[in-house]
Amino acid sequence: MKHFLSESAVWESASEFVTPDGVVSHGYGESAITVNGNGIVNESWVLIGDFKRVNNYKIIRISEFVFTFESLNPELGIQTGSYHVDRNMLFSKFFIRGTSLNGFEIIRREDSVCYAHGALYEDDLLMNTWSARMVRK
């Protein structure tokens, strides 16, 4: 069964970001996954209005079911975390180094479509949530 990081592919995304008080922002973007042995690169970006947020992940396969990652997000800093695989789903937990920012994301793959849902916290205070639909190009 394939998941988001199973193979090299380019995914186009449509996203929705929601603040704790219900303000909704929409975005679109792209994730380019390159698998090379036990190393994976995810070069991704999302455009929200005129603002482009970039995340470039370096991912290492620890086992068939566990990956670790690091990403430099220019706005937030260095993000580190892990992915845990359950068939077609990835469960991710992450932290922004040197801050109290942390969060999670769940990515479910159904053939050539992935659905992502996540949240960002500062300590235990919710900062925002997001959802995305990604279609393989």
Distance from C-alpha of 67 to C-alpha of 83, rounded to nearest angstrom? 5
Q: What would the pLDDT profile of 103-117 be if each residue is shown by its tens digit?
A: 999 999 999 999 999
Question: 6-62: per-residue pLDDT in tens?
Answer: 999 999 999 999 999 999 999 999 999 999 999 999 999 999 999 999 999 999 999
- Are 110 and 2 contacting, i.e. CB atoms less than 8 angstroms apart? no
Residue 75 pLDDT class (50, 70, 90 cuts): confident
Residue 53, classed as helix, strand or coil, is: strand
Inform me whether the pLDDT recorded for 73 exceeds 90: no
**Measured CA distances, 9 to 88, 124, 130 (Å):** 15, 35, 22
User: What pLDDT shows up at residue 72?
Assistant: 85
